[in-house]
C-alpha cells in the first residue's frame, strides 16, 4: 500500500484537470502559493471523455500529481434534465484520467467527488462511513453513482496497483467563477442572480424553488481548494475524506441572507411545484479537522464577496 506522506509539492508538476471550472480555477489560484509547476489543458485541445487522447496527453505532460476537478456538474434541474450526460461524461472523464495516471506512473492523484454520494436519509452530519448504507436522492443519483464509481476506482487502484490515489468529497461549494445560469446552477448562484435581477427590474417578488425548508451546508471554493491541497500533501489512505464548513442554513435563511446583501427589498415567495431534493446535507468533517485543517471564510463574508464578483462580471466567465 502506498503511504507516501508527506507529499511535498516543491518542484513537482501538478496537473489540475478541469481548471476552467469553479474548483479547478480556485486550485490554480491556491497552487500559485506553492513552489510547484501547474499544468492545465483546454477543453478544445483535450476532451477528457476520449480515452486514447487523454492517455497520450498525460504520457506527454508527465505530471507528478493530478487533481481531478474535471466533471459534468450542475444543480437540481440540470441533473434531472440530463441524466445520460451526467452519468456517462463523469464516468468517462474520471475513468480515463485515473487510468492514464496509472499508466504514466503519476505519484499522487486526488479525485473529487461530492456530498451527494451519501444516502438521501443518511444520519446527519454524514460521516464517511455513511457511503452505500441506503438509497440515494433521486434528483442527482446519476451524478452520485458516477462519483461513487470514481472514488471506488481510486480505492481499487490503491489495492491492486499500489497507486497513491485518494478521494475528497466536498460539500456544496460557492464563490467566484460559479455558474449563474438559472437552469443549470446550484441554489446560491441562482439566488444571487435572481436577487440582482429582481432589484434592477424592480420586481415585487423573488421566486425560490421548493419549500425553503431543506438545509444545506456551504463552503467557499477558496477554502475548498486550500483543503484539497492540504489533503494532497498530507493524506494517503483508502478512505475518502469529507470537505465541509459545518455552516448549515435552510434555503429560506439563505434567501434572506442573499436579499440582505444584494439590497433587494421585495417579497420572497416559494414555488412548491419545484423539488426540494434531499432534506439535509451536512458533512461530518471530524476527519479533515483531525488532519489539521479548518475553514477560514464564513458564509456571510463569502456571500458578500461572491455578490460583488457577480455584480462586476455579471456571471460571465471566460470559456
Ligand atoms: P442540491 O443541493 O443537489 O439539491 O442542488 P441545488 O443547489 O440545485 O438545490 C438546493 C436546494 O435549493 C433545493 O431544495 C432547491 O429546490 C432549492 N432552490 C431554491 N431556489 C433555487 C434556485 O433558483 N435554483 C436552484 N438550483 N435551487 C433552488
Which tens digit of pLDDT belongs to each residue from 118-143?
Answer: 999 999 999 999 999 999 999 899 99
| pLDDT value for 307 | 94
| pLDDT value for 1 | 44
For the purposes of burial, counting CB atoms within 10 Å of the CB of 16, is it exposed (0-12), middle (13-18) or buried (19 or more)?
A: buried
Element (H, E) at 170: strand 165-170
| pLDDT value for 315 | 56
Which atom of ligand 1 is nearest to 277's Cα?
4
| pLDDT value for 128 | 98
Pocket of ligand 1 (CB under 6 A): 75-76, 116, 140, 172, 185-187, 190, 208-210, 214, 216, 251, 274-278
DSSP string, 256-272: HHHHHHHT--SEEEEET
Nearest-angstrom CA–CA distance, 298 and 316: 25
| pLDDT value for 77 | 87
Instruction: Mark whether 143 is an active-site residue.
Output: yes
Nearest-angstrom CA–CA distance, 11 and 22: 25
**Mean pLDDT, contiguous 10-residue spans, the chain (319 residues):** 78 98 97 98 97 98 98 89 96 98 98 96 97 94 97 98 98 94 92 95 96 98 98 98 96 97 96 94 97 97 95 63
What confidence tens digit (pLDDT) does each residue in 41-93 have?
A: 999 999 999 999 999 999 999 999 999 999 999 888 888 899 999 999 999 99
Spot the catalytic one: 82, 118, 143, 270. Answer: 143
Assign 283 to helix, strand or coil.
strand
302 contacts 218 by C-beta, under 8 angstroms: yes
| pLDDT value for 183 | 86
Q: Whose CA is nearest to atom 12 of ligand 1?
A: 187
Amino acid at each position: 500500500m502506498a503511504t507516501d506522506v508527506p507529499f511535498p509539492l516543491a518542484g513537482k508538476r501538478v496537473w489540475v484537470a478541469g481548471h476552467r471550472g469553479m474548483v479547478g480555477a480556485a486550485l490554480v489560484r491556491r497552487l500559485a502559493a506553492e513552489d510547484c509547476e501547474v499544468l492545465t489543458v483546454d477543453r478544445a485541445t483535450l476532451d477528457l471523455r476520449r480515452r486514447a487522447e487523454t492517455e497520450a496527453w498525460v504520457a506527454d505532460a508527465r505530471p507528478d500529481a493530478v487533481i481531478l476537478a474535471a466533471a459534468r456538474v450542475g444543480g437540481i434541474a440540470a441533473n434531472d434534465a440530463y441524466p445520460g450526460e451526467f452519468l456517462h461524461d463523469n464516468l468517462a472523464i474520471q475513468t480515463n484520467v485515473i487510468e492514464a495516471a496509472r499508466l504514466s506512473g503519476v505519484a499522487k492523484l486526488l479525485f473529487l467527488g461530492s456530498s451527494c454520494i451519501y444516502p438521501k436519509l443518511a444520519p446527519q452530519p454524514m460521516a464517511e462511513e455513511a457511503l452505500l448504507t441506503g438509497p440515494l436522492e433521486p434528483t442527482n443519483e446519476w451524478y452520485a453513482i458516477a462519483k461513487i464509481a470514481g472514488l471506488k476506482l481510486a480505492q481499487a487502484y490503491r489495492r491492486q496497483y499500489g497507486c497513491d490515489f485518494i478521494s475528497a468529497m466536498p460539500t456544496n461549494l460557492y464563490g467566484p467563477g460559479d455558474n449563474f445560469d438559472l437552469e443549470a446552477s446550484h441554489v446560491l448562484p441562482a439566488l444571487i442572480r435572481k436577487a440582482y435581477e429582481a432589484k434592477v427590474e424592480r420586481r415585487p417578488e423573488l421566486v425560490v424553488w421548493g419549500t425553503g425548508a431543506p438545509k444545506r451546508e456551504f463552503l467557499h471554493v477558496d477554502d475548498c481548494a486550500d483543503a484539497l491541497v492540504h489533503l494532497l500533501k498530507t493524506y494517503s489512505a483508502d478512505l475518502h475524506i469529507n470537505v465541509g464548513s459545518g455552516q448549515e442554513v435552510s434555503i429560506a435563511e439563505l434567501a434572506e441572507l442573499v436579499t440582505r446583501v444584494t439590497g433587494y427589498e421585495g417579497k420572497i415567495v416559494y414555488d412548491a411545484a419545484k423539488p426540494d431534493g434531499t432534506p439535509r446535507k451536512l458533512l461530518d468533517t471530524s476527519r479533515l479537522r483531525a488532519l489539521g485543517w479548518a475553514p477560514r471564510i464564513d458564509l456571510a463574508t463569502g456571500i458578500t464577496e461572491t455578490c460583488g464578483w457577480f455584480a462586476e462580471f455579471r456571471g460571465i466567465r471566460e470559456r
